[in-house]
Structure 1
Amino acid sequence: MEIFDSHTHINAPQFDNDIPDVIERAAALDVTAMLVVGYDKNSTEKLKKLISIYPQIYGAVGCHPEDAEKFDEGYIKQIKEDLRVDRLNVLGEIGLDYHCAVEHKLQQDVFRAQLRLAHEINVPVTIHNRDAFDDVYRILKDEDVSSIGGIMHSFNGDATWAKKFLDLGMKLSYSGVSTFKNAAEVREAFMATPLDRILVETDAPYLAPVPFRGMQNEPGYIRYTLEYLAQLRGIEADILAKQTYQNTMEILGIK
């Protein structure tokens, strides 16, 4: 079995002294590829170093909504340069976070600008959505996301929202949240998502699945989420692993 963690932050400070061990533990649990996501300039520099060392790492770069106040022409130029790096071929994570203090209109403007940039350089996107379903959906639809493709990272909506984003051509990535007792709506969304549109992710170091909830998450723990979701779906874990791996590679444009 080979598993692709479609969204992780092993470029976060929590992993500064532990990267080789984290990757080794992941491999022991059949996690053979991961999409490491930059969220600011410092994490992106770490990501580029990781890509140069580990062939199983792919990358995404972009301006996280919490960083929107720093977004300017220089930031755009750097994103364009970074996306020329081999295996760094997704723009993100981008989107809206109405839980943070950054003004909503500014977040929306930066989100739109980056979607237009993704069109310009023809790369898919990975989307951050926190407490902003209506506006994220509206902007993705306005900016024709279906023509570039993308991922709804750590999807935590219900089946109705799942259908709306699926209709935009998005793939939905399910995290450890789906294992939480209070996440019945997320499980319903998962059951309503076609197998060829599902990804799995850790969002490490956050959102560790049961039985590690409350602990620091890491890529290897995606094995537990995947096995839980496969059981929920009534299929073998290796079938879900193969399909989600293929789906992630498809987003990355790799055959």
Structure 2
Amino acid sequence: MLFDTHCHLHHPRFDADRAEALARAREAGVTRLLLVGTSVEDARAALELAEQHKGVFVAAGVHPEGAARWDGGTRRALLDLCRHPRVRAIGEVGLDYHWDYPRADQERAFRAQIRLAREVGLPLVIHDRDAHADVLRILEEEGAGEVGGILHCFSAGWPEAERGLSLGFALGIGGPVTYPRNDALRAVVRQVPADRLVLETDSPYLAPQARRGQRNEPAFVRFVAEAVAAERGLSFEEVARLTSGNGARILRLDGAP
């Protein structure tokens, strides 16, 4: 019924109650999860968990925080991970200008992983924090529209959304859409084409307003679905069906081309 297209259930913050968190997600109607890796080692941990559960898939990639360590060995390790049928995307990859990670290293790793995604034919999960113009420019320059993917935790305005949409990307909408002061994101949610919306939690981070201050978890994607439904004048069930179908199509599940 619901698809959390970006979570980190393999994160150590779930070590004490991972099985219970997964059970709560199932009880909340979450039938599919995409566990997103931030390094080769992290993606391997995500894959180990995914192999144990139906409906759990993996994105493998190197986050901007680890970009300085990008090398040929990292690329070969990711390429090997991509051969696993549960690995359905390259991510999360991109740029982060909020923290002081070396920008040249970030760009080098980002471009290399876009090229890898095109080589293996997998969509991208994009991390973009305070770097909208450069992220979009690099996606355009590297031909990322060939594979498309998800602009994770979308936080820019409508002009940036249009550029991402023109490249075939969907917008990942999470807990911030529920924050009282985030009218700008809600305006984007009202405008984006229905086939370009997916839901996410980014758990254990970015809990929705109803659980603000708590550890986020996949079950809380229901709050995101409710907020999107309210903005678009749809029922909860319609949003769940629509966004889950979008996620399956982007990640080429259920035999989707």
In the superposition, the TM-score normalised over structure 1's length comes to: 0.97
- 1:71-220 matches, within 5 Å, as 71-220=70-219
How far the C-alpha of 1:181 sits from its partner, in A, is: 1.2
Residue in structure 1 matched with residue 220 of structure 2 by the alignment: 221
Residue-by-residue CA offset, 1:116-137 (whole Å, 9 max, x unaligned): 1111111110000000001000
Q: Identify the range of structure 1 (159-168 vs 232-241) with the bigger mean alpha-carbon deviation.
A: 159-168
Q: Identify the range of structure 1 (90-99 vs 162-171) with the bigger mean alpha-carbon deviation.
A: 162-171
Q: Secondary structure at the match of 1:85?
A: coil
Residue in structure 2 matched with residue 233 of structure 1 by the alignment: 232
Q: What are the ranges of 5 or more consecutive residues in structure 2 without an aligned counterpart?
A: none
> CA separation in 2, counterparts of 1:35 and 1:184?
27
Supply the AA of the counterpart residue of 1:96: L
- CA-based RMSD of the aligned residues comes to 0.9
> CA separation in 2, counterparts of 1:137 and 1:119?
16
> CA separation in 2, counterparts of 1:173 and 1:102?
24
Q: Is the 8 A contact 2:47 2:57 kept in 1?
A: no
How far the C-alpha of 1:29 sits from its partner, in A, is: 0.5
Q: Identify the range of structure 1 (193-202 vs 79-88) with the bigger mean alpha-carbon deviation.
A: 79-88
Q: Secondary structure at the match of 2:51?
A: helix
How far the C-alpha of 1:42 sits from its partner, in A, is: 3.0
Q: Is the 8 A contact 1:60 1:91 kept in 2?
A: yes
How far the C-alpha of 1:146 sits from its partner, in A, is: 1.1
Residue in structure 1 matched with residue 49 of structure 2 by the alignment: 50
> CA separation in 2, counterparts of 1:251 and 1:115?
16
How far the C-alpha of 1:160 sits from its partner, in A, is: 1.9
Q: What are the ranges of 5 or more consecutive residues in structure 1 without an aligned counterpart?
A: none
> CA separation in 2, counterparts of 1:186 and 1:129?
15
Q: Is the 8 A contact 1:160 1:189 kept in 2?
A: no
Residue in structure 2 matched with residue 15 of structure 1 by the alignment: 14
How far the C-alpha of 1:101 sits from its partner, in A, is: 1.8
Residue-by-residue CA offset, 1:139-158 (whole Å, 9 max, x unaligned): 00101111111100010111
Residue-by-residue CA offset, 1:102-125 (whole Å, 9 max, x unaligned): 111111111001101111111110
Q: Secondary structure at the match of 2:92?
A: strand
Q: Secondary structure at the match of 2:19?
A: helix
> CA separation in 1, counterparts of 2:134 and 2:61?
19
> CA separation in 2, counterparts of 1:205 and 1:235?
28
In the superposition, the TM-score normalised over structure 2's length comes to: 0.97
Identity of aligned residues (%): 37
Supply the AA of the counterpart residue of 2:189: F
Q: Is the 8 A contact 2:40 2:78 kept in 1?
A: no
> CA separation in 2, counterparts of 1:113 and 1:41?
15
> CA separation in 2, counterparts of 1:140 and 1:80?
20
Query: When the two structures are aligned, how many residues end up with a matched partner?
Result: 254
> CA separation in 2, counterparts of 1:199 and 1:250?
11
Residue-by-residue CA offset, 1:185-223 (whole Å, 9 max, x unaligned): 111111110110000000000000011012100000000
Residue-by-residue CA offset, 1:209-240 (whole Å, 9 max, x unaligned): 01101210000000011011101111001111
